[in-house]
Amino acid sequence: MKTHQLDAFIAIAEGLGVAGAADLLCVSQPAITKSINNLEDELGVRLFERTSNRLQLNQYGEILLLRAKVAKTELSRASEEIQLLKNHLKSVVKFNASPLLVPKLIPKAINLFREEYPNVNIELAGMLEGKPEYKIQSLLNGEYDLLITVIDENDPNLGISYEKLLDVEVKFIASKGHPALDLKNPTLKELRKFNWLFPGAGGLPYQKLRAAFKSAKTDMPADVLILSNRQITFKLLEEGMYIAAIPYNSTCFERDLSQFEQLNVKNNKISWPIYLIWRENSKFSVSMNAFVKQIKTLASINEKSEK
């Protein structure tokens, strides 16, 4: 299996067709066709369903496309690292993380890492906001080599490997003097009548909260503000009269919740794991391994201190 065969295959699989692949790779259309035919002969299967005017990926092609893109990404990253070493330039650690981790855990990990590895550049790459599935695709495309976020373990998650880093749990806190504080072990059904602050709509925390209210056999609160910015949430709690659902782990959290009133809500614990995620079968560089170790150490120290 040769790289030019994979280039031709990926180009066609991503919708360019034979003519588009030929233009992209600056070769003739017969050369593209020959590359695909040779690749299929080598694998012993057809990768596309052929119709009169197009090639469409079949189940074998879908498998190869995922693996081929990962392979191309790894080769590209290897080339970058070799050039950096050859030209005596700093190596680069590229990662992306959930916004939940950015205020506290990530800055601490970066500072400790840079003390130990001053000659390595570290880059928080890509967008912080965004659905995990989009971030995983960016990981597979090689925009970064490590992703720290949530995943849906019920999805196939082809092309990635992952390891749990820590757990996040929803805490229910209220503004000082809130009438809900007079209730002893209130239920979600009793609390739904109040004004609420929820984390961003559509994300895992919001989905978990919806499931919790449904499990409690009650509707979602009628008056809910959806906020992605925790600083705004805290300001509203301080100046208004709200109940807030806060995804919390002290490793990640920049504020001490003791300054607020916590509600002991009678419901099943709402929690989910945060994972370290990387491309399947890829190997971290020495510097990336050191950065991952630093993050895991910080998370582990906090977990022990809370027990």
- Domain borders along the chain are 3-68, 72-166+273-306, 167-272
Task: Find tokens 């998370």 and name the residue.
Answer: 299
In whole angstroms, give the CA distance from residue 298 to residue 104: 11
The angle at the Cα of 301, spanning 153 to 232, to the nearest 5 degrees, equals: 70
Say which CATH superfamily domain 72-166+273-306 falls into: Periplasmic binding protein-like II (3.40.190.10)
In whole angstroms, give the CA distance from residue 189 to residue 219: 8
3-68: CATH topology? Arc Repressor Mutant, subunit A (1.10.10)
Structure tokens at 27: 């070769």
In this prediction, residue 148 carries a pLDDT of 93
Q: Kindly give the interhelix angle for 3-11 and 59-86, rounded to the nearest 10 degrees.
A: 120
Mean pLDDT of the chain: 85
Per the CB < 8 A criterion, the answer to whether 199 and 205 are in contact is yes
Least confident span in 78-87, 238-247, 278-287 = 78-87
- For residue 305, pLDDT over 70 is answered with no
**Equal CATH topology for 72-166+273-306 and 167-272:** yes
Q: Model pTM?
A: 0.70
In this prediction, residue 285 carries a pLDDT of 83
* Averaged pLDDT for residues 32-52: 84
Distances (CA, A) of 37 to 13, 50, 52, 145, 279: 14, 12, 17, 33, 29
Least confident span in 192-196, 226-230, 247-251, 254-258 = 254-258
Rg (CA), the chain: 25
167-272: CATH topology? D-Maltodextrin-Binding Protein; domain 2 (3.40.190)
- pLDDT tens track for 95-144: 999 888 888 899 999 999 989 888 888 988 887 777 888 898 889 888 89
- pLDDT tens track for 245-265: 999 888 888 777 777 889 999
